[in-house]
Amino acid sequence: MTDQATTRDWQSHPPYLYPEYRSTPLRAPTRPLIPIRHRLSETTGPVYGHEAVGPLDADLTKNARRNGEPLGERIVVTGRLLDEEGRPLRNTLVEVWQANAAGRYVHLVDQHDAPLDPNFLGAGRCVTDEEGRYRFYTIKPGAYPWGNHPNAWRPLHIHFSLLGPTIASRLVTQMYFPGDPLLDFDPIYQGTPENARERLISRFELGVTEPDFALGYVFDIVLRGRGETPFENRS
Q: Given this model, what pLDDT does residue 10 score? A: 73
Q: Is 16 a catalytic residue?
A: no
Out of 80, 154, 224, 234, pick the active-site residue: 154
For CA atoms 92, 122, 64, 208, the dihedral sign is negative
**In whole angstroms, what separates CA 184 from the centre of its chain?**
19
The rounded distance, in Å, linking the Cα atoms of 134 and 184 is 29
The rounded distance, in Å, linking the Cα atoms of 7 and 224 is 6
Written as one letter, the residue type at 63 is: N
The rounded distance, in Å, linking the Cα atoms of 146 and 143 is 10
CA-closest candidate to residue 61, choices 74, 49, 44: 74
Q: Within a 13 Å sphere around the CA of 2, how many CA atoms are in the beta-carbon half?
A: 17
> How many residues are recorded in the chain?
235
The rounded distance, in Å, linking the Cα atoms of 33 and 17 is 13
Q: How would you write 58-113 as a 3-class SS string?
A: CECCCCCCCCCCCCCCEEEEEEEEECCCCCECCCCEEEEECCCCCCCCCCCCCCCC
Tell me the sheet residues that pair with 94.
Answer: 126, 162
Q: Is 154 a catalytic residue?
A: yes
Q: Given this model, what pLDDT does residue 173 score? A: 96
- pLDDT tens per residue, range 110-161: 989 999 999 999 999 999 999 999 999 999 999 999 999 999 999 999 999 9
CA-closest candidate to residue 16, choices 151, 153, 191: 191
pLDDT in 10s for each residue of the chain, 235 residues: 344 444 667 778 888 888 899 889 888 888 888 887 877 766 776 666 556 888 899 999 999 999 999 999 999 999 999 988 889 999 999 999 999 999 999 999 998 999 999 999 999 999 999 999 999 999 999 999 999 999 999 999 999 999 877 777 789 999 999 999 999 999 999 999 999 999 999 999 999 999 999 999 999 999 988 788 998 865 4
Out of 159, 170, 197, 203, pick the active-site residue: 159
Out of 18, 144, 189, 217, pick the active-site residue: 144
Q: Given this model, what pLDDT does residue 51 score? A: 65
Q: Is 157 a catalytic residue?
A: yes
CA-closest candidate to residue 131, choices 193, 205, 80: 80
Q: Is 31 a catalytic residue?
A: no
CB 155 within 8 A of CB 123: no
The rounded distance, in Å, linking the Cα atoms of 44 and 168 is 9
SS3 of residue 122 by DSSP: coil
Q: Is 159 a catalytic residue?
A: yes
The rounded distance, in Å, linking the Cα atoms of 138 and 77 is 8
pTM: 0.90
Out of 13, 104, 157, 224, pick the active-site residue: 157
CB 184 within 8 A of CB 152: no
